Amino acid sequence: MDLFEQKFLLSMSSKVALLNRITTYIVNRKGKQMRPMFVFLVAKMVSNGEVSERTYRGASVIELIHTATLVHDDVVDDSNRRRGFFSVNALWKNKIAVLIGDYLLSKGLLLSIDNNDFDLLKIISIAVREMSEGELLQIEKARKLDITEAVYYEIIRQKTATLIAACCSLGAASVKPESQHVETMRKFGELIGMAFQIKDDLFDYSDDQIGKPTGIDIKEQKMTLPLIYVLNQADKKDKKWLINSIKNHNKDAKRVKEVIAYVKNNGGLDYAIARMKQFQEEALQLLKTYPNSEYRNSLELMVNYVIDRKK
């Protein structure tokens, strides 16, 4: 990871001083860096501990694209904070933030093209397309609040799981191109991504300080699994009250608290936790098809971390 950090910073560099100032700011406020870890651990697991320059490039591309989407997300959501620090758009305004996101995206794509990593480029490009589709599908559905459980899974598969799936398939493709590992690991990453997003949705109902205020999804009219479940179970009167609350009273703190209490009391969280654990179990079963190794053990730890994390 230390060597990756150096290579990653180099992959962002530019002749424009302002760009370098902003990218340095972004790198110094990095998150958990789960995505590059998945790239390296998968590569090592499928190749008995080998990594190549392609693996480092794959991890850098993923992180460049991921960072670009976060910078753009903060503009879209009009968010002033990211991981407890000021977001790029808060410090440098929207226009610069959008351009920085575009710059990082193009740097990621060029890193693959310049090194003829066209198989890696394809994996990444599909992920970017799916992430955009997932976000737009969520916006479209939020307007009508007519989201089914199946549509919810499709949204989170595209929006969140597709990038983690890309990390894992990239890791495999970087050392064993065109092998069956690439698809197996894509599926593995997708399962973890699904569990990861459900865990994120559950934070909306927690009382812990996680850097994201409670009830924010309800305020933003995002239909998450706990809410979808209770809506499907509710009688006509309760359903009407829930939908009215989300549509017309989502800024009313007292009403949002009542919705959260209703979801908790009617099995919404229990159902979401059970589904999350199902995805986790499927991911662990896929890992078990690989021989025991320190890399497989580390991936198992990461799968469990996704479920057990506190923020």
* pLDDT, tens only, 142-170: 777 778 899 999 999 999 999 999 999 99
Is-above-0.95 flag for pTM?
A: no
**Average pLDDT of the residues of the chain:** 88
Who contacts 13 (Cβ-Cβ below 8 Å, separation ≥6)?
20, 23
CB-neighbour burial class of residue 143 (10 A; exposed 0-12, middle 13-18, buried 19+)? exposed
Helix 225-233 crosses helix 149-156 at what angle (to 10 degrees)?
170
Averaged pLDDT, 65-94: 80
- CA Rg, the chain, in Å? 20
Tracing tokens 């239909």 back to the chain, one arrives at 223
Cβ–Cβ contacts within 10 Å for residue 1, how many?
10
Note the pLDDT of residue 214: 67
Percent of the chain at pLDDT above 90? 51
CA distance 52 to 89: 36
Which residue type does 123 have? I
pLDDT band of residue 46 (cuts 50, 70, 90) is very high
Per-domain residue ranges for the chain? 1-308
Note the pLDDT of residue 25: 82
In this model, does residue 244 exceed pLDDT 80? yes
Q: Give the β-pairing of 85-86 and 81-82.
A: antiparallel
Do residues 44 and 51 make contact, with C-beta atoms less than 8 angstroms apart? yes
Q: Give the 3-state secondary structure of residue 237.
A: helix
CATH code: domain 1-308 is 1.10.600.10
Region for residue 86 given its phi and psi (left: phi exceeds 0; alpha: psi -120 to 50; beta: otherwise): beta
Of the candidates 154, 135, 125, the residue with the CA atom closest to the CA atom of residue 62: 125
As given in the structure block, the two tokens for residue 60 are 């850098």
In this model, does residue 182 exceed pLDDT 80? yes
Tracing tokens 């995505």 back to the chain, one arrives at 35
CB-neighbour burial class of residue 251 (10 A; exposed 0-12, middle 13-18, buried 19+)? exposed
H helices within 32-179, ranges in order? 34-46, 53-76, 88-114, 118-144, 149-156, 162-175
Of the candidates 63, 65, 62, 86, the residue with the CA atom closest to the CA atom of residue 74: 86
Note the pLDDT of residue 210: 46
